[in-house]
Amino acid sequence: MKTRTQPLLANHIRIKKKIVLLYLLIGFTLLFVASVLINVFDSKHPETDFRFLHHYKYILFILITAVALYILLGIHYKDLSTIEDNYYKLFEGSPGAVYVMEKSGFRFLAVNDVMVRKYGYSREELLKMSALDIRPEVERKKLKDYLYSAHDEGHDTGIWLHQKKNGDLFYVLISHHSVKFQAQEAYAVIAIDIDQNIRNEKRLREIAWTNSHEIRKPVSNILGLAELMKTCDPMEPLDPRLVDLLSVSASELDIIVKKINLHAKELDRKF
């Protein structure tokens, strides 16, 4: 299965191949040109022995190819430094908490500033902890079972419950990928705080459940009265009691609708 790091790895391999090919090309070209020049000098001046130049040819080869290799490696490392700098900016510039953790023991290897602020620990404290330490007890076995089993990686790999240093619990949306970090097999993880969204959804469900029960009574009354009114003689005046009951039920329904609107406005203000 392809990962998002494979294009970078392939590009890294291509660059190394280019360096080797350029090094060989420069080296062989230098040796060839030097040999041709020495042979030309030797043919034009047969009285002079130019064979000693072959020794200098190899010394010159070593010096020039060393300089060429130094320049090529410098360009390569500059590119790598740029890539590393870009990743660092993404790491620290993410709006969510980002951390890198070991695959084996789940120990934190790196954390960004958002995570430090969000969870209430210092960076030094977090780097002595593991991903299990920022979860309540009930979530720790769940995490182990998930990561030690075959599982999908990528965007939106689940909603988890995390815990701050002060004990507060909050919901996060997790996305993680396998990476190689400081020669260790690791996961790069992004945790987006969706706690308010989850709690608002729960509140909406509670409101919907409560209001569905409250609204059932006046609606049932109105439906019952409507059926009763169908049986009345259209030529006879309506029983005032039916009209009163209909009015009361309509008022109850109106109160419930206003209460629903009030709850909706409260949620809008929270968003």
- pLDDT tens track of the chain, all 271 residues? 344 444 445 555 666 677 677 767 777 777 777 777 777 766 777 766 666 666 666 677 777 777 877 777 777 677 666 656 666 677 777 888 999 999 988 999 999 999 999 999 999 999 999 999 999 998 999 999 888 888 777 666 788 999 999 999 999 999 888 888 888 899 999 998 998 888 777 777 776 666 666 776 677 777 776 776 767 767 677 667 767 777 777 777 777 777 777 766 665 665 5
* Alpha-carbon 76 to chain mean position: 28
Q: Provide the pLDDT for residue 82.
A: 64
CATH code: domain 95-193 is: 3.30.450.20
Q: Provide the pLDDT for residue 3.
A: 43
**Helices marked H in the chain — which ranges?**
6-44, 53-93, 113-119, 123-126, 137-147, 195-230, 240-270
Is the whole-model pTM more than 0.75?
no
Q: Provide the pLDDT for residue 4.
A: 43
The torsion of the CA quartet 166, 168, 172, 176, rounded to 10 degrees, works out to: 30
Q: Provide the pLDDT for residue 1.
A: 37
Q: Which two tokens stand for residue 136?
A: 């309540």
> How far is the C-alpha of 179 from the C-alpha of 190, rounded, in Å?
13
Q: Which residues contact 8 (CB under 8 A, 6 or more apart)?
A: 83
